[in-house]
Structures are given as structure tokens and as C-alpha cells.
Amino acid sequence: MKTCFQALYDITNEIAYDIQELNGWQVQALLHLRKAWAGFCKALFVEAKWYNKGYSPSLEEYLSNALISSGAIVISIHTMLSVGSTDEKTINLLGKDEDLAYNISIITRLYNDLGTSMAEKERGDAPSSIHCYAREMNVSEKEAEEHIKNMINNTWKKINGQCLNNQSHNLLPCSFVKVTTNVARMVQCLYQFGDGFGIQDRETRNHIISLLIEPFNLDKTAKD
């Protein structure tokens, strides 16, 4: 555990230094990164305690912790600091009960659960949203999966509405909206065919290779 902590500590310091050397020192990158990782680790610790006690939380209780353990905030903060076009006020939105950040975290957690719940159950990991809902409502896992999918669809509708509303009224910084919604899109891409993060030799791998490595096949006849 000490080795893992030291590795995380060192890489976080390196990332913060690189960010500030590249984008300037107007934002305290190290402070925000450490805070994000601390919250993430605390949320994982809560899940570990649930597992050790054999405790199955309600879906509401699960999601209240999963908003942090999903990792959406950690990813968003790293991204916003790296692109450079941000300030302290914008970064701090991720630490508040801002509706868009909340919904992005919901999307991240639920997509991850749909893609990994079966493997996690076989490994004996902490319960997912699917298992929490199935046990709480006394329904089958198939019915629980459908409920989670409906939650995802409804959350996307909220995100789309928030983005459209922001275009009209400019309530949130554009950089904040762009980064957070792109995190949700990325998560959907990773988990739409299963665990595209943990199992790296399926569709996600092909998508990444197609995007970053293989050249585009330009058909001359179509071009003409």
C-alpha cells in the first residue's frame, strides 16, 4: 500500500509541475489534484468497508458515494488543468453540487457498472448499482439493468438540456461544459460494448487503433 501511495504521490507532483510549467502558475494545480485524489480514495475506502461488512447499500446511498468513486471528477480536473483555459472559479465548480458535474458523475458510474458488474460479481468486489437496485427492489438483475439503462437515458436528457440552456444563457464557462460532457462521451465509448477499459483486446482497442494509428482510407472515386 505504501508503494502504491508513493507512486501516486510522485506522479501527481510530476503532473502538477508539468501543467504549471506549460500553462502558467495562475491555478494551484497540485492543490486541486491532491484534493481530487484524496476524495476518490476516501470513496473507494467506503466501498471497501461495505464489502468487508457484507453490506448492500440502497441505490441512493450507493450513488451518493459513487459520484466520487466513479472517477469523473478526477478525470475532469486533470483535463481542465491540462488544457490551460481555466481558472480557480471554474475548477471549484467540480467540487460543488453543480448539476452538470453531478450528472456527468452519474453517467460515468452507471456506464461503468453496466460494463463491469458481471466480472466484479465473479471476483467478489463491492456491489454495483445493478446489484444494489436488484436487492433493494427484489427484482432480477435483468430488470435492474433495464432500470439503470433508463437512468442513463434520462441523465443524458438532463445533460443535453443543461448544455442547450447554457448556450442560451451562458451560465457556466464553456471550458467546463466542454470538458465534463466529453468525459461522459468518453465513458460511453469505453463501456458501450462491455468493459472496454479492463479488457483491452475488444472493440475499444480497435477504435483507438483506427483513430490514432491506422491511416484514413481515402477512396479516390469518392473524392472525385
Rank 75-79, 123-127, 203-207 by mean pLDDT and report only the highest: 75-79
Q: d(Cα 95, Cα 85) in Å, to the nearest integer? A: 18
| Residue whose grid cell is 509541475 | 17
pLDDT of amino acid 118? 64
Rank 114-118, 135-139, 200-204 by mean pLDDT and report only the highest: 135-139
Residue 173 confidence class, pLDDT cut points 50, 70, 90: confident
Contact 53, 1 (CB under 8 A): no
pLDDT of amino acid 220? 54
In the CATH hierarchy, which fold is given to the domain comprising 2-223?
A: Farnesyl Diphosphate Synthase (1.10.600)
Q: What is the dihedral of CA 193, 197, 200, 202, to 10 degrees?
A: 10
* Residues above pLDDT 90, as percent of the chain: 41
pLDDT of amino acid 136? 93
Tell me the domain boundaries of the chain.
2-223
Please, what is the average pLDDT of the chain? 84
Determine which helix (DSSP H) or strand (DSSP E) holds 67, and give its type and residue range: helix 59-69
Q: What 8-state DSSP symbol labels residue 45? A: H
Q: Hey, is 219 helix, strand or coil? A: coil
Q: What is the pTM of this model?
A: 0.81
pLDDT in tens, 17-31: 998 888 777 778 899
